[in-house]
Structure 1
Amino acid sequence: MQTKLREMLKFPCFFTYKIIGLSKPELVDQIIRVIQIHIPGDYTPQVKSSHRGNYLSVSITICAKNFEQIEILYHEISQINMVRMVL
């Protein structure tokens, strides 16, 4: 899968992460903080709450210069304690 994705993308490119995490106010700030370390910029995530309000869905688009940036951010966002899934 990784090889196919690497072949499909032409850099620089826009890449959207969808992150599912606990419904805590600091979740979005922590995600943006991780992204800012690697790709500084202005980000406007789209945030939706789950039906019961236990989880947040955060969609955020970055402009990646290479595939390694995509991989690093995927790994580091996954390490945030409140994050349950990164797509």
Structure 2
Amino acid sequence: MKTNLEKMLTLPCSFTYKVIGLSNPELVNKVIKVIQTYIPGDYSPQTKLSNKGNYISISVTIFAKNFTQIEKLYFELSKINMVKLVL
């Protein structure tokens, strides 16, 4: 059975993840390392600090060939200890 997200996507396609986590200089590198493990390539993450500087949001766009890649990256990114939310 297809999920709503699966129904909305026409693959292959560009797909953007937004990762929100604790503001730590290592977090961006950890996010990119996880993505590179599953979908090698050059990535240019966009970052934004929260108003108080406690959290950072990291947006990274990938080119997904199948829905399994998208699901796997959601799961793997959420396992990073500083990550609070993956959208």
Identity %: 64
**TM-score, with structure 1 as normaliser:** 0.96
- Structure 1 distance, partners of 2:77, 2:4, is 22
Provide the residue aligned with 2:16 in structure 1.
16
List 4+ stretches of structure 1 deviating above 3 A: none
Give the secondary-structure state (helix, strand or coil) at the position aligned to 2:80.
coil
- Gaps of at least 5 residues in structure 2 are none
- Gaps of at least 5 residues in structure 1 are none
C-alpha deviations, 1:45-80, integer Å up to 9, x for none?
Answer: 100000000000101100000000000000000000
The number of residue pairs the alignment matches comes to 86
Provide the residue aligned with 1:38 in structure 2.
38
